[in-house]
Amino acid sequence: MGGMMNLSWEALPLELRTTFRIAHGASDRRDNVLVCLDEGLGEAAAVAYHGETQAGIMAYLSGVGDIWGDDPYLLEDVLTRLPAGSAAARAGIDIALHDAWGKRLGQPLYRLLGLNPARIPLTSFTIAMAEPEVMAEQAREAGLPIYKIKVGGAQDVAAVAAIRAVTAARLRVDANAGWSREQAAALIPRLADYGLELVEQPLPVGDIEGLRWLKAQGFGLPIFADESIKTAWDVAAHAGAVDGVVIKLMKTGGIREALRAIHTAHALGIQVMLSCMIESSVGVTAAAHLAPLCEFVDLDGPLLVRNDPFVGLRYDGARLLLPDAPGIGVLAAIQ
């Protein structure tokens, strides 16, 4: 190919449509990083519960150096040369590299991966923690078929009951590591009465034995691990302890490791939910190209953002429509 690839980056501040409140904090904005590798676009979103910050991401990017070689198609070689450190920064580089790969070959990423975008499951829409009546009103107004309800506070049962009273949609709950073992064991059977699909990260990060114990109680509600899962190694460590895992590019360090984690999960009989942090259309569209491989999808990031500077995947209700432009298929929005 000739010539060294040029890595650059800039701040990507995202303003949220409404305050986003979960078990471990609330926010009105996110400070992400846009990563460019020649013509390739990527995004790095700091995962706060893994100790990541925008400044840390930028520091990592400034220290990468000239690792690209002269053949950008050797993705595995290039990514293996990345230094250890920020998973989000590595995800930004990985996404940009895949985007450049697709653009140079003139094909959308899903096609290069041999995947069928018609197989993408419907996405859930997140309802952040608030007063139960406020959460119910959000669900009623949205009128969508799947909701992920943030729990881990004092009104969890009341919130789920209020939402169920106004919608027949499929409901999932996400405790974001907000319950103890005793709380989870008490709450899950009560919440199951409202016809839930699954419960996500009920216990603190790293409590694999607690998850194993909770699963053995036989409450009949599938348990998924999220915050505990970064790489394929973490998926393997949870074998037998959970029914599913949540894969996010910002935790895996990009598309390459996400694919390994997805295939590892399926080899172990574990289902996969593909999800995102609060990201612009760059990061979420990149993830969506892997969605045909997954049983569940939670890719609503752009719907939560007021000032997304890009256009990529589109939403037809809860259906995700992938762009068919080369690479990840993201374009700058017309302001």
Give tens-digit pLDDT for 151-168: 999 999 999 999 999 999
Tell me the pLDDT of the chain averaged across its residues: 95
Top-level CATH class of 112-332? alpha beta
Residue 133 reports pLDDT greater than 80: yes
Backbone dihedral angles phi then psi of residue 23, each to the nearest 5 degrees: -60, -30
Alpha-carbon gap, residue 22 to 306, rounded angstroms: 19
pTM: 0.95
Compute the average pLDDT of residues 304-316. Answer: 96
Q: How far is CA 176 from CA 12, 49, 120, 148, 151, in A?
A: 25, 10, 25, 12, 7
Residue 300 reports pLDDT greater than 70: yes
Q: How far is CA 64 from CA 78, 238, 243, 258, in A?
A: 11, 32, 37, 21
Q: How confident is the model at residue 1 (pLDDT cuts 50, 70, 90)?
A: very low
pLDDT tens by residue, 74-117: 999 999 999 999 999 999 999 999 999 999 999 999 999 999 99
Alpha-carbon gap, residue 64 to 6, rounded angstroms: 11
Q: Give the domain 7-106 fold.
A: Enolase-like; domain 1 (3.30.390)
Spatial CB neighbours of 195, under 8 Å, sequence gap ≥ 6: 164, 171
pLDDT tens by residue, 222-235: 999 999 999 999 99
Question: Hey, where are the domains in the chain?
Answer: 7-106, 112-332
Q: How confident is the model at residue 194 (pLDDT cuts 50, 70, 90)?
A: very high
CB 78 within 8 A of CB 296: no
pLDDT at 312: 97
Catalytic machinery residues: 150, 174, 200, 226, 248
